[in-house]
Structure 1
Amino acid sequence: MGTAFASQGDLSEKKITFEEIGAGLYAFTAEGDPNSGVIIGDDSVMVVEAQATPRLAQKVIDCVRSVTDKPISHVVLTHYHAVRVLGASAFGAGQVIMSEAARNMVAERGQEDWDSEFQRFPRLFQGHESIPGLTWPTTTFNGRMTVWLGKRRVDICQLGRAHTAGDAVIHVPDANVMFTGDIVEAHSACYCGDGHFNDWGATLEAIRAYDLDAIAPGRGDAVVGRAAVNAALDRTKDFVASTYRPVARIAARGGSLREAWAAVRAECDPKFKDYAIYEHCLPFNVARAYDEARGISHPRIWTAARDLEMWAALQG
């Protein structure tokens, strides 16, 4: 482990895949970089997740244009993180949709999150100079809302806290396909730095109850087939539990953050070390788990300065 965040040294370009996972439904994936989704309706298109910059969003737009010339009318953002939302302006959509809780988090910590993420993972902010500012939704909801793309129904739902307090999923009933955001990952580490460990498992089970035919996860390849979907849910659940469990033991006896870090490595490295962005996520996951285990229910705001303080504590 070097002295810098693992993500700061991740400079290689990732191969983009644009895969149809249901009729008129596509997963834009890039080897562990943030995914986007595309839902083609009768007259227009909905995009799920906007990427970190307008330049990176253009890669999604180019893929959309390879399969349809219908206008992009809606952008849905599953949560507030900078790498998901700051490219929204590129799509020219009439509606930008977030949960009310996610919007509140933009107001509370959006700028701090942007500064923090940019420091941690500069490659994901190609063309950052074109970002016009924080992304604000035009439409918010609590619990559930439905958008009709002509005759195609799209349900946007909050199923529980997990990756953040404002997580939403997007379900297309006619194909029984779901875009899960970072609640579910496929052979990629979960980022838990703003998460809710004790709620995450129940939220995964709420997704499982849909008995889905396919999912587009937040990172990693699209998951097609019910057996594969259940396996991805199981692996995500195991990742979250395997991170929290050793930290809770350390915190219960008054141990240090650095002890918690060592305990998580001992449990998680053998199972997950080859997952995408594992080393990037691990310090933030341990820090958030340590807070939650000590009763801090509302995740503390990550800032560029706090990132470095936490990293220094772990390095000793």
Structure 2
Amino acid sequence: MTKQFASAGDLTEKTISFTEIGRDLWAFTAEGDPNSGVIIGDDSVMIVEAQATPRLANKVIEKVRSVTDKPITHLVLTHYHAVRVLGASAYKAPTVIMGDVARAMVAERGQEDWDSEFGRFPRLFEGHESIPGLTWPTTTFSERMTVYLGKRRVDLMHLGRAHTAGDIVAYVPDEEVMFTGDIVEYHSACYCGDGHFADWGDTLDAIKAFDPHAIAPGRGDALIGRDMVEAAIESTRDFVDSTYQAAARVAARGGTLKEAWDAVRAACDPKFKDFAIYEHCLPFNVARAFDEAQGIDMPRVWTAERDREMWTALQG
């Protein structure tokens, strides 16, 4: 019998933390669930990452209201994945910002990703009935965009491909704090099913070059202090490289996807098996690494049907 998706049985409510990582800068985290960031300016608030549903977004809003009554005027979405963007309507923010590439990916594969993630991770989509539809930005940019919240400056940047082709980060220079989305994780597996393994390390280097004092990662605890930031960046690099190199060696000798799965498990289990969502991510990571090693540059679109076929092939 084929196993169910690894996260399908994860129905336990997670404990939320709301951590100040710089002056008026907050990380909303929940034991390996998707994180959100909060940037409070002189007269308004920017949210980074919407959450999967309006129900979950309202939990972020509750935390925001515990520290400020300033209006939420900007919502930044670091990439297109459903668990990051479909709660956007709860914020009623007049300005919703994505990178150009992320916006194109919503058009190309947004509905398929929604259907796919809904099947993989039902707990994150409780209250999904209130999602009005796909989330579209009101503003996009190519490489860099600066937003001022009063005097507070926020730099939005596309530093390179990594978790997806369209990842962006938000950097607050007055506090040297960065919100990286899923480019950086902490004690959580990287989801690489739409990733670009060969580029990911260079993008991590670009983040590292800012020498941030703190980072709100995509998943896991807030990273405060340069030692913790460095450790998380290097752990993320090790996870990505270990996954890709094992799969690529199998592809190079003409091996099978199942052989790549076994090789990646052998390389990654000893180091990362206790990371959040490790079992959830692993089959998707192996499938994408095997594709990239065979020269498929743009990740193939995940659909609910493809999810089941891949899961059966690797976990059956």
TM-score past 0.5 threshold: yes
**Number of the residue aligned with 1:122:** 122
Report how far residue 313 of structure 1 moved: 1.1
Mapping 1:68-79, distance limit 5 Å: 68-79=68-79
Name the SS for the 2:287 alignment partner: helix
2:7 alignment partner, SS class: helix
Provide the rounded CA distance (Å) in 2 between the counterparts of 1:15 and 1:2: 31
* 2:62 alignment counterpart: 62
Aligned pairs for 1:29-178 (under 5 A) are 29-178=29-178
Residue 143 of structure 1 aligns to which amino acid in structure 2? E
Deviations 1:244-263 (A, max 9, x none): 00100000111110000000
Aligned ranges 1:17-32 → 2 under 5 Å: 17-32=17-32
- What is the alpha-carbon distance in structure 2 between the residues aligned to residue 258 and residue 58 of structure 1? 41
CA offset at residue 5 of structure 1? 1.0
State how 1:203-282 maps to structure 2 within 5 Å: 203-282=203-282
Distance 2:31 2:313 in 1: 31
| Pairs aligned (count) | 316
**Counterpart residue type for residue 202 of structure 1:** D
Q: Deviations over 1:236-294 (max 9, x none)?
A: 00000000001000001111100000000000000000000000000000000000000
**1:53-92: per-residue Cα shift (whole Å, max 9, x none)?**
0011000000000000000000000000000000000001
Q: Note the C-alpha offset of 1:227.
A: 1.1
* SS of equivalent residue, structure 1 residue 89: helix
Paired residue type of 2:205: E
| Preserved contact between residue 2 and residue 315 of structure 2 (Cα < 8 Å) | no
Letter of the structure 2 residue corresponding to residue 89 of structure 1: S
Q: Give the residue type in structure 1 aligned to 2:294.
A: R
Q: Secondary structure at the match of 2:19?
A: strand
2:79 partner SS: coil
Give the TM-score taking structure 2 as reference length.
0.99
CA distance in 1, matches of 2:93, 2:199: 33
Task: Point out where structure 1 has 5 or more consecutive residues left out of the alignment.
Answer: none
* Conserved? CA contact 2:41–2:152, under 8 Å: yes
CA distance in 1, matches of 2:188, 2:55: 24
TM-score (norm 1): 0.99
The residue aligned with 1:15 is 15
The residue number in structure 2 matching 1:287 is 287
- Residue 296 of structure 1 is matched in structure 2 by 296
CA distance in 2, matches of 1:314, 1:70: 49
Give the Cα separation in 1 of the matches to 2:298 and 2:315: 25
Of all paired residues, the percent bearing the same amino acid is: 77
> 4+ runs of 1 displaced by more than 3 Å?
none
Shift of 1:2: 6.6
Residue-by-residue CA offset, 1:211-258 (whole Å, 9 max, x unaligned) = 110000000000000111111100000000000001000001111100
What is the distance in 2 between the residues matched to 1:72 and 1:37? 12
- AA at the equivalent of 1:26: W
The residue number in structure 1 matching 2:4 is 4
The whole-number CA distance in structure 2 between the counterparts of 1:315 and 1:111 is 25
Residue by residue over 1:171-220, the C-alpha shift from the partner in whole angstroms, topping out at 9 and shown as x without a partner, is: 00000000000000000000000000000000000000001100000000
**Distance (whole Å) between structure 2 residues aligned to residue 100 and residue 158 of structure 1:** 10
Q: Aligned equivalents of 1:271 and 1:263: distance in 2?
A: 14
> What SS is found at the alignment partner of 1:9?
coil
CA distance in 1, matches of 2:82, 2:178: 22
User: What secondary structure sits across from 1:7 in the alignment?
Assistant: coil
Alpha-carbon separation, structure 2, partners of 1:34 and 1:119: 17
CA distance in 2, matches of 1:312, 1:227: 41
SS at match of 2:8: helix
Matched to 1:247, the amino acid is: A
| 1:147 aligned partner, one-letter code | V
* Segment drifting more, 120-129 vs 2-11: 2-11
Amino acid at match of 1:119: G
Give the whole-Å Cα distance in 2 for the aligned partners of 1:20 and 1:119: 34
**How far 1:315 moved relative to its partner?**
2.9
